Amino acid sequence: MPEFAEVHEQVRWLRSKVGAFKIAKHGFTGGHFPQWKDDPAKKQKVASFFDGAELLSISQRGKHIVMALSTGTLTAHLMFSGRMTLLGDDYVSNYKHHRLPPDPKANSFWIESTDGLRLALNDPEYRARASAHPGLTAGQCEDLTSLGPEILVTSLTDAAFQTPWSAAQLITAASASRTAIKVFLLEQERQAGIGNMYACEGLYRAKIAPHRPAKSLSAAELSALYNAIVAVVGEAIASQLDYERVLAIYRKSHDPAGHEVKVDKIGGRDTYWVPAVQRV
């Protein structure tokens, strides 16, 4: 699914295309706005949230896109293949699910400005979710405050979440966990934004085997891991997702030195690692 760098690129594109505007129309299908899933007044509550509201800003929180509205906060989690796009100006990127223009039939939620600018959540798998938080700022939304610190704080990070993840936090939390370090890194309540791809790459750079219990790692190893993850995510952002340049082992058969890449299931996820490099 889109991870921190991929969501960052999406938000950067949105900010370059969309400024503040007043919402004139909206529409949705499927499972958006889950807090009102079984509420018979769901359509009316959604309409009250959007009708006449002003979109004020767009920011990032971990893997979430955050939109500040005059009526509250709108959050969107893209899941595996979702993306925000504009009518007549499609968003594409190097991320595998975003390389081709989106199928208009997969627009499951949209808002339109009084000037006719239509912003849509496009997801062919219909697993992405938009959530409304009436009357709340981003710093008051539970689906955002329940996350750990941002792995990177950038110019696109929401103003309510400006304290970045640190090596000290990783060392303290890992020292008390028997969970495999690969699984530990994916726990968003510990640190927000790391996904399968960058966890694999960070562990490879830090020369740490992914199945080792988190508490078995020394402070030096965890510091190296922290630096490796921050570096690879930062490089992905700086390169605008140039995976050929940034990724060394993910979905590859050999690393740059010619060592074989092994694929194991750890925590239910395909985990790419190099036994010749990563210490067991």
Residue 1 has pLDDT above 80, yes or no: no
Report the percentage of the chain scoring pLDDT > 90. Answer: 99
d(Cα 255, Cα 251) in Å, to the nearest integer?
10
Task: State pLDDT tens for residues 140-185.
Answer: 999 999 999 999 999 999 999 999 999 999 999 999 999 999 999 9
> What are the structure tokens assigned to 237, written together?
């952002």
Q: What is the pLDDT of residue 48?
A: 97
d(Cα 28, Cα 105) in Å, to the nearest integer?
12
d(Cα 184, Cα 199) in Å, to the nearest integer?
10
Residue 30 has pLDDT above 90, yes or no: no
Task: State pLDDT tens for residues 180-205.
Answer: 999 999 999 999 999 999 999 999 99
pTM equals: 0.96
Q: Domains in the chain and their CATH numbers?
A: 4-145 (3.20.190.10), 167-273 (1.10.8.50)
Supply the angle between the helices 219-238 and 196-206 in degrees, to the nearest 10.
Answer: 130
Mean pLDDT of the chain: 97
Burial, 164: exposed, middle or buried (Cβ in 10 Å; 0-12, 13-18, 19+)? middle
